[in-house]
Chain A
């Protein structure tokens, strides 16, 4: 029984993995620069940011929620560090701690608004939070870009490599493994899926649904902070304007392509990783083929719609097969 469950799970990844493979083949045919070691490393480096945001997004989606503030949170955390640099703080350790504490705190506020202050849906609270952070990021930096040059400690995570393998992606892999174990093997993980499916039944089963949900938003905040840190290392700057870049929707798209659902209760780390890689591979390949960014956006949109359409259709077929088998 367990075996059939596992093999069917692997089958669901086969589609996503196949799509990634086909993408790679297409780009290899059309661009001679695609299939190179250094290009692969740069895909991984570029995808770290989105991979991190997607972790928090996935947890929120599993609970039938959403966190629209992840991109703005990452930007704000970076800007906060930028403000401190402007003020003359140049201790990397202090800066990193501030970034992480700020991200976690923002996640905690999102969770508390939802669970303890009973805002109707996290769409509302996190959309509000996104705008608050967008403004705050510009205010603390005086709407100026701040350079982190010389602060190698802060830049390390986003810029360093082991050999040519990006450190940021090593961290992504470690986090994904930890989160995979958390989601599949621990009682907390199981509670997250259940709290998403039916928070009242979960509460009446003695699980503190409010704490479970808050945990998800705190993790989302933590991941956004780490992503902010990575962005500093990659670009060497922080810029409050980035808060309204489509980072949130990229993260949502990664999760959805990877099998998560807005209805909650679904989604895995492996699927999300594949989703994030598909998005980054697309962006990377299009750039190599010199397809302009407007076109990139449209095609990416079609990929998202296509992926969900495929998923929904597959689910309907499965439900039908089950109905027929049960009758």
Chain B
């Protein structure tokens, strides 16, 4: 028997014109959590797809329990005991948890009809073993992302997977759900299941993993036990150079008067008396747990959802904002947290998406000025370093980081004064994150007001001039960068409902 439950050796995968994997290797021991990290485009997806049989490697070998395997399709891989929980979950939201878990593995009773009582019982058991006490007859869509992910894990458990790959499992989870997920991972580990944990969040790797493998540009870089890694060495291995500063904070000049004042914003069941002010030349961070009402506050200010009461004052003047178009006229830009669903028209070109928020500014009368659009677009592509073969590329074809840059470009093109960035670096790689931070730096240096909603504490601490902490639709704390409370412990304390003394 081999030491490893799954071992990939010298795998090379070529796509026409490019080598996606070069002599790649990966080895997972039974009952181990192996972190896998690399920038976007490093080859993580290809590696996962080779292991799950979606792609076939041109060269190289895969061993499961020391026996060489050839996966022709995902079914072969699943039969060998390899399962994968993809970042985009494969959940049929309208079907019950049981239906989701037993899809294509139905338990049949007499006469070939589905035996639901047996399936419900089994589903309940499996979910309970993953720490989820849920009613398996309810539609999966009724539950949060955390539970939906557990359904995927339950599928893997049900086929007696020897190894489970989790592709950025925490990217759409809240704090509590992440905790539960980690607990589940440890539980699976204790059952002897090997886990490959793909994440962009270094602190998660340090908390959870036994060893971490770093890949870069399709090549294997290194695998070391977790205590031999630290933040800097991981980043250096990942990007191939040291990023001196993960958060390249620069300071603008704070405006004398607040640029945006929100007073007593109320929205039944969502916001309770939210008041704050934001200044030009500063980044105002919004920290809190998922569901604290930060996104809702921003959507209300932007006119995307109606407020029950409250005042919004821009540069000292009260404004009435009933719709996003009024907000844009008032000088507000809003980069939504869900870039695919709310930020971009994926089927349209970069050129079109870049002018979406300022069609009028790019038109003479009713007619579009193609020359101005092209000039602005090429400028956006250059200054934001959007990697694309052409300005006419369909946005859906771009990588996540480049899509995010297109959304940023769309808002930069509006000449707004107040930029609200909701989770601007979610799901994009370290290099692209730094570029997003630099855009924010440029904006504050021009005297613009930047509001950044983020669930990443290091990002909040690294980039904000001032932080507002929310919980349950209320403002809990307002902490200046110079304050003694400007640290992770105190901000988390406030986010969990604690009081900060003065």
* CB-based contact B324/A205 at 8 Å: yes
Q: Which residue of A lies closest to B18 (CB)?
A: A327
Interface residues of B in 394-440 (CB under 8 A from A): 397, 410
Q: For the complex, give the distance between the alpha carbons of A198 and B20 in Å.
A: 32
From A191, A205, A264, A266, residue with most partner B Cβ within 10 Å: A205
From A20-28, A116-124, A181-189, the one touching the partner chain is A181-189
* CB-based contact B325/A208 at 8 Å: yes
* CB-based contact A186/B397 at 8 Å: no
Number of interface residues of A (CB under 8 A): 32
Interface residues of A in 203-262 (CB under 8 A from B): 203-208
From A47-55, A135-143, A318-326, the one touching the partner chain is A318-326
* CB-based contact A204/B334 at 8 Å: yes
* CB-based contact B327/A206 at 8 Å: yes
Residues of A within 8 A of B487 (CB): none
* Distance (whole angstroms) from the CB of B45 to the closest CB of chain A: 11
B111 interfacial by beta-carbon distance below 8 Å: no
Interface of A is mostly: helix
Residues of B within 8 A of A324 (CB): 15-17
B118 interfacial by beta-carbon distance below 8 Å: no
A265 interfacial by beta-carbon distance below 8 Å: yes
Residues of B within 8 A of A289 (CB): none
* Contacting residue for B304 out of A198, A204, A265, CB 8 A: A204
A169 interfacial by beta-carbon distance below 8 Å: no
Q: For the complex, give the distance between the alpha carbons of A193 and B355 in Å.
A: 13
* CB-based contact B352/A186 at 8 Å: no
B328 interfacial by beta-carbon distance below 8 Å: yes
B359 interfacial by beta-carbon distance below 8 Å: yes
* CB-based contact B342/A204 at 8 Å: yes
Q: For the complex, give the distance between the alpha carbons of A207 and B328 in Å.
A: 10
* CB-based contact B357/A194 at 8 Å: no
* Distance (whole angstroms) from the CB of A191 to the closest CB of chain B: 6
Q: Which residue of B lies closest to A324 (CB)?
A: B16
Interface residues of B in 337-357 (CB under 8 A from A): 341-348, 352, 355-357
On whether A203 and B17 interact (CB within 8 A), knowing A187-B359, A198-B344, the answer reads no
Residues of B within 8 A of A323 (CB): 15
* Distance (whole angstroms) from the CB of B484 to the closest CB of chain A: 38
* CB-based contact B356/A194 at 8 Å: yes
* CB-based contact B366/A204 at 8 Å: no
* Contacting residue for B341 out of A185, A200, A206, CB 8 A: A200
Give the A-B pair count, Cβ closer than 8 A.
100
From B98-106, B229-237, B385-393, B454-462, the one touching the partner chain is B385-393
* Contacting residue for B348 out of A188, A194, A326, CB 8 A: A194
B368 interfacial by beta-carbon distance below 8 Å: yes
* Distance (whole angstroms) from the CB of A325 to the closest CB of chain B: 7
* CB-based contact B366/A187 at 8 Å: yes
* CB-based contact B345/A204 at 8 Å: no
A316 interfacial by beta-carbon distance below 8 Å: no
On whether A322 and B352 interact (CB within 8 A), knowing A186-B366, A327-B18, the answer reads no
Residues of A within 8 A of B366 (CB): 186-188
* Distance (whole angstroms) from the CB of A187 to the closest CB of chain B: 4
Residues of A within 8 A of B342 (CB): 198, 200-201, 204
Q: Which residue of A lies closest to B407 (CB)?
A: A201
A135-163 CB contact bits vs B (8 Å, 1 = yes)?
00000000000000000000000000000
* Contacting residue for A325 out of B302, B356, B362, B389, CB 8 A: B389
* CB-based contact A204/B336 at 8 Å: yes
* CB-based contact B356/A202 at 8 Å: yes
Residues of B within 8 A of A314 (CB): none
A1 interfacial by beta-carbon distance below 8 Å: yes
On whether A204 and B302 interact (CB within 8 A), knowing A5-B392, A327-B15, the answer reads yes
Q: Which residue of A lies closest to B327 (CB)?
A: A206
* CB-based contact B352/A190 at 8 Å: yes
On whether A186 and B356 interact (CB within 8 A), knowing A325-B17, A326-B397, the answer reads no
Residues of B within 8 A of A186 (CB): 363, 366-368
Residues of B within 8 A of A266 (CB): 347
Residues of A within 8 A of B327 (CB): 206
Residues of A within 8 A of B344 (CB): 198, 201
* CB-based contact B346/A206 at 8 Å: no
Q: For the complex, give the distance between the alpha carbons of A9 and B344 in Å.
A: 23
* CB-based contact B363/A207 at 8 Å: no
Since A2-B392, A325-B389 are in contact, a sample of 7 more A-B pairs with Cβ atoms closer than 8 Å, ordered by chain A residue number, is A2-B370, A197-B346, A197-B348, A198-B346, A207-B356, A207-B359, A265-B345
Provide 13 A-B residue pairs closer than 8 Å at the C-beta atoms, listed in order of the A residue: A2-B374, A194-B352, A197-B347, A197-B348, A201-B344, A202-B345, A204-B302, A204-B304, A205-B357, A208-B323, A208-B325, A325-B389, A327-B20
